């Protein structure tokens, strides 16, 4: 399933859980809440608006059942992005491809394995996309 609509959001401070797992995420406050896709994990292309380079990304929308004390979120992990804080930056997400539903994992290690599989699937979905061309 592909969704060509554009999602724009401003990066806000999150709980830091993604970074602790080795998958840092940018938590987004959406410019238009009505643009929020259904809960799930998606592959997408992300653009940090002041820059001109696209990044392959994973988007998580919805609850975080493995960490039930954390609120529902819209957060994106930029694959192969040199880690840096993006607070206050605007991101544009496009070409959303649904990967899987939200799931509770028995442990952080199993969640990390799933995120690695999600990243691999994202790379397969966007195999024709050449990041070096940007």
User: How far does CA 67 lie from the centroid of its chain?
Assistant: 17
Q: What is the total count of domains within the chain? A: 1
Tell me, yes or no, whether 115 lies in a domain.
yes
Residue ranges making up the domain that contains 17? 2-127
Burial class of residue 85 (count of CB atoms within 10 Å of its CB; 0-12, 13-18, 19+): exposed
- Asked whether residue 134 is domain-assigned, the answer is no
Which residue shows structure tokens 């401003």? 10
Q: Measured on CA atoms in the order 85, 90, 8, 81, is the torsion positive or negative?
A: negative
17, two tokens: 């859980």
pLDDT of 2: 52
DSSP 24-79: --EEEEESSGGGPPPSEEEEEEEEETTS--EEEEEEEEE--TTSTTSPPEEEEEET
Bridge partners for 59 per DSSP: 42, 76
pLDDT in tens, 4-56: 568 999 999 988 888 888 899 999 999 998 989 999 999 999 999 888 789 99
Instruction: Name the DSSP class of 16.
Output: S
Q: Is residue 89 part of a domain?
A: yes
Classify residue 133: in a domain, yes or no.
no
Distance CA 134, CA 124 (A): 19
Whether residue 132 lies inside any domain: the answer is no
pLDDT at 110 over 60: yes
Low-confidence winner among 8-12, 97-101, 103-107, 130-134 (lowest mean pLDDT): 130-134
pTM: 0.89
Write out the two tokens for 12.
Answer: 């806000």
Q: Is residue 38 part of a domain?
A: yes
The CATH number of residue 10's host domain is 2.40.30.30
């Amino acid at each position: 399933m592909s969704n060509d609509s554009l999602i724009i959001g401003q990066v806000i401070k999150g709980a830091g859980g993604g970074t602790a797992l080795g998958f840092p995420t940018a938590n987004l406050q959406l410019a238009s809440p009505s643009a929020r896709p259904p809960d799930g994990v998606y592959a997408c292309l992300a653009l940090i608006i002041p820059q001109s380079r696209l990044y392959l990304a994973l988007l998580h929308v919805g609850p975080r059942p493995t960490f039930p004390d954390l609120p529902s979120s819209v957060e994106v992990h930029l694959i192969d992005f040199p880690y840096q804080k993006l607070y206050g930056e605007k991101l544009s997400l496009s070409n959303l491809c649904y990967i899987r539903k939200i799931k509770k994992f028995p442990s952080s290690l199993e969640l990390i394995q799933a995120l690695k599989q999600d990243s691999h699937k994202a790379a397969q979905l966007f195999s024709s996309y050449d990041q070096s061309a940007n």
